[in-house]
Amino acid sequence: MAGQQAATQVSTFCALCVSRCGAKATIADGELVALHPDPSHPTGTALCVKGKAAPELVNHRERLLHPLKRTKPKGGGDPGWQRITWDEALDTVATRLRSLAREHGPESVVFSATSPSTSAMSDAMDWVMRLRRAFGSPNQCVYMELCGWGRYLASMFTYGAPVPGTYMPDLDHAGCVLYWGYNPSVSRLAHATSTVAAVGRGAKLVVVDPRRAGLAGRADHWLRVRPGTDAALALSLAHVMIERGWFDDDFVRHWTNAPLLVRTDTGGLLRASDVSPTGDPAHYVAWDEAGGHRVIYDPARGRHAVDEARLALFGTYEIATTAGPVACRPAFDLVAEQCRDMEPGAAEAITGVPAADIEATARTLWESRPVAFYTWSGLEQHSNTTQIVRAINQLYAMTGSFDARGGNVLFPSVPTNPIDGAELLSAAQRAKAVGVGQRPLGPARFEFVTGEDVYTAALEGRPYRVRGLVNFGANLAMAHGDSARGRDALAALDFFVHADLFMNPTAEQADVVLPVTSAFEAEGLKIGFEINEAAQSLVQLRAPLVPPRGEARSDLQIVFALATRLGLGEHFWDGDLDAAWRHQLAPSDVTLEQLRAEPAGVRVALTTRHRKYAAVDDEGVPLGFRTPSRKIELYSEVLAEHGYPPLAEFNEPRTSPRSRTDLAERFPLILTCAKSLWFCETQHRNIASLRSKVRDPQVELHPHTARERDIAAGDWVRLDTPHGSIRARAKFNASLDPQVVCGQHGWWQASDDVGLPGYPPFGPDSANLNLVLRQQPSDPISGSSPLRASVCDIAPLATTEQSAEPSLA
Ligand SMILES: Nc1nc2c(c(=O)[nH]1)N[C@H]1C(S)=C(S)[C@@H](COP(=O)(O)OP(=O)(O)OC[C@H]3O[C@@H](n4cnc5c(=O)[nH]c(N)nc54)[C@H](O)[C@@H]3O)O[C@H]1N2
Ligand SMILES: Nc1nc2c(c(=O)[nH]1)N[C@H]1C(S)=C(S)[C@@H](COP(=O)(O)OP(=O)(O)OC[C@H]3O[C@@H](n4cnc5c(=O)[nH]c(N)nc54)[C@H](O)[C@@H]3O)O[C@H]1N2
Ligand code: SF4
Ligand SMILES: [Mo]
């Protein structure tokens, strides 16, 4: 046809969520027409509805097309956005940030970004970190306490490494897949397709979830846990395994600190210096059961002085110390005792999971090894997240599957130069991260600060006033609990710049808004696709499929431009992104030219090595683990030294009806939440093909619970918590415990194309779940918010309330 070019197919990947599905794009007349799965790509088996809606996202008429500045005061209604040039925008931002740093220190500026799991921020996250560090701020606010602590950082106290997270489930070889608070059918398609394949070849599947969601329907064991009681379940499973001898005795002796003796008088680990004046305080003590004497363990050697098979795991031993005899027990004996409190009957009473199912699941975990596991959102947003994760980590250690083929494996990575700028921030600046004082082991220790701490710093000046925010996308006010406080904190800032594809309720509080390209308009470098060895081998430079909309620039371009204007060009290759990528890629032997010539990516041969902890150096010292004892720490001295429990324990969620008996009568139900297949977090409600499938905010509840309240399926209801009420439509789900309801967070946007309204993010008529949830009481170690086990109730929405037309957002 005249004037029309033939459609072309370009290899790419969808960057809209953590799955990063390999895809082929159809381009016609300079437009992105469609995305299709690319089965030749390691994550390309399928695409979800959101990926298929990519053209709508790219071409959406609400896209931000030009830099904007506010002309009216904050806190009021209309910000009076006025179009400005990129030059003016970048100059304003650089000038304001420099003056904040000069007058109040660089720590007064917080950097934030939307999660790489819900956006294309994976393209730029490390560079945003580099910018922050080069600028000198230790404060990065990126939901670590809601999304990453459990997967990444809490497990450092057990394994010295992120498990799961960096150690990924080897689904291709697993004997048993364990998903705990994770529903990849919705959240990570590439994992879901691999799991279906694993089940197809006979792997067992265990799913722990209050809802029979996704793969739970195909599971050998679906354990319907009461929200937030997961630690009790994990301890109970461990109890059954210990009682029956269903644990990897050899692994536990060799590679965990289970044999180390704990003093019953102080509760601390017995040290060599306790038993001999010449003993080294850095050495520990175990009991040689066969020989009937104590043996010293030197972490620097990584081995006990006798064959580990001789060491006691159970019992009480009287040890002569320099201050007299002290009864001591191997750490494992204490673990066993802690678990004994959670016999399946006791655990059933707490978790709601039938005792027989706990027994049967323990057997499956043992008999179907190797076990590969993943945990995520279901466990992240609780007042007891760290204990839940510690309990699951302990259970997992007992299977002996760690870093074994078919277990959780550190797949190799293509070698590259690190670019996150870790070396650019001084220790003195790092120590200023907000929140590190209250929770010294929490995410702030790793420069990830919590929403609650940022809001407190902005509103109350504690520990100092936070005055600036550089935000790449994140919808902070809606993503954290206590949305209204979030809005107030944002409004209190001296200067706030927000870069995004769309306006959002957080950006409404900004001084300057910058338009960002969608992933389909910009180059993006992905080194390794994470889920297995083949995926890790792939390096792909996503080609721009269509030109940028309006004046939009990629996050990376913005980072580099801002860096040079801030006078930080020396750390950013003077703004030359290609030079920066060349530096990053140098050790890989893959060149930018190769990558640009090959949009499907370049594969670098990698070989997975298992059980790397056992590899020995020239002196026979095993690599071990990056923990103080060089072993997997079932007993954590680091936690003990900070006044936290050294062994995993169960704590009732602090916002549940059982702990808040004062509220339980008025709010008898338990509120949790889950992601939607159709939308990412607070996004995508404005996309017609998606919104037309899920037209209204929903809350899932059991039909009995609804009937008791005169609620029919599809009715508008009021979801009440002690902090207020929001609206949603009742969706029946008979798989739930009748006491549990499941909400959706993220509703604010209208879809004009399908004529469906938005909802005010704050105030009456809201459908924003986080408006009626709070960030406290939080997990004492991580500061994780109790978003998933809170008291609530549901009532029919009064007819007058229903007829009030929600305002368009
Ligand atoms: N109650 C409750 N609250 C939750 C959760 C929950 O399950 N329940 N989940 C929590 C979790 S796990 C997370 S990670 C957070 C998520 O919180 P956020 O990371 O803030 O994610 P979104 O809410 O999806 O908002 C993303 C914003 O970034 C913009 N954006 C999208 N792609 C890009 C891009 O490539 N560049 C830039 N600059 N901007 C982009 C979008 O337009 C949108 O405005 O929410 C948390 N909040
Ligand atoms: N379609 C889609 N994909 C996404 C996202 C999205 O918003 N939409 N968000 C992305 C992001 S940022 C993230 S963090 C990931 C998260 O991915 P997931 O972790 O899979 O997300 P969720 O669906 O929030 O939670 C998983 C399951 O936890 C269950 N659950 C709730 N409370 C509890 C509990 O107390 N205990 C247990 N054991 N389970 C519980 C829920 O019922 C749910 O089925 O997904 C990413 N991918
Ligand atoms: S699961 Fe969907 S949104 Fe996520 S990367 Fe794949 S196609 Fe894109
Ligand atoms: Mo997340």
19 CB within 6 A, ligand 3: yes
Q: Which of these, 402, 342, 343, lies nearest to 159 by C-alpha position?
A: 402
Q: Which pLDDT tens digit goes with each residue over 415-471?
A: 999 999 999 999 999 999 999 999 999 999 999 999 999 999 999 999 999 999 999
377 CB within 6 A, ligand 1: yes
Neighbours of ion ligand 4 (CB under 5 A): 115, 117, 147
Distance in Å, CA 676 to ligand 2 centroid? 9
Cis peptide before 164 (omega within 30 of 0): yes
The pLDDT value given to residue 806: 45
Atom 30 in ligand 1: residue holding the nearest Cα = 473
Distance in Å, CA 502 to ligand 1 centroid? 12
Owner of token pair 């739970």? 216
Atom 23 in ligand 1: residue holding the nearest Cα = 682
Atom 5 in ligand 3: residue holding the nearest Cα = 20
The pLDDT value given to residue 77: 84
Mean pLDDT of the chain: 97
Which of 12, 38, 43, 50 best tests ligand 3's pocket when mutated (most atoms within 8 Å of CB)? 50
Q: Which of these, 54, 51, 43, 50, lies nearest to 192 by C-alpha position?
A: 43
The pLDDT value given to residue 801: 60
CB 747 within 8 A of CB 768: yes
What is the rounded distance in angstroms from the CA atom of residue 79 to the CA atom of residue 81?
6
Q: Which two tokens stand for residue 240?
A: 């059954």
CB 409 within 8 A of CB 610: yes
Note the helical H segments in 461-576: 476-479, 483-492, 533-537, 555-565
What is the rounded distance in angstroms from the CA atom of residue 782 to the CA atom of residue 446?
11
Q: Which atom of ligand 1 is nearest to the CA of 147?
A: 12
What is the rounded distance in angstroms from the CA atom of residue 177 to the CA atom of residue 168?
12
Atom 12 in ligand 1: residue holding the nearest Cα = 147
479 CB within 6 A, ligand 1: yes
Q: Which two tokens stand for residue 126?
A: 């490390």
Strand pairing report for 740-743 and 669-673: parallel
Phi/psi region, residue 143 (left: phi>0; alpha: psi -120 to 50; beta: rest), is left
The pLDDT value given to residue 802: 55
Q: Which ligand is nearest to the CA of 182?
A: 2
Distance in Å, CA 382 to ligand 4 centroid? 14
What is the rounded distance in angstroms from the CA atom of residue 36 to the CA atom of residue 45?
10
Cis peptide before 463 (omega within 30 of 0): yes
Q: Low-confidence residues of the chain, pLDDT below 50?
A: 1-2, 803-809
Residues 592, 598, 601, 607, CA torsion sign: negative
38 CB within 6 A, ligand 1: no
Q: Count the Cβ atoms, other than its own, within 10 Å of residue 179.
A: 28
The pLDDT value given to residue 608: 97
The pLDDT value given to residue 295: 97
Distance in Å, CA 185 to ligand 3 centroid? 11
The pLDDT value given to residue 2: 46
Which of 675, 685, 693, 739 best tests ligand 2's pocket when mutated (most atoms within 8 Å of CB)? 675
CB 527 within 8 A of CB 588: yes
Q: Which pLDDT tens digit goes with each residue over 780-799?
A: 999 999 999 999 999 999 86
Eight-class DSSP state of 277: T
Looking at the DSSP bridge assignments, the partners of residue 36 are 24
Q: What DSSP letter does each residue of 581-631 carry, written as one string?
A: HHHHHGGGT--HHHHHH-TT-EE--------GGG-B-TTS-B---SSTTSS
The pLDDT value given to residue 562: 98
Which of 119, 187, 480, 679 best tests ligand 2's pocket when mutated (most atoms within 8 Å of CB)? 187
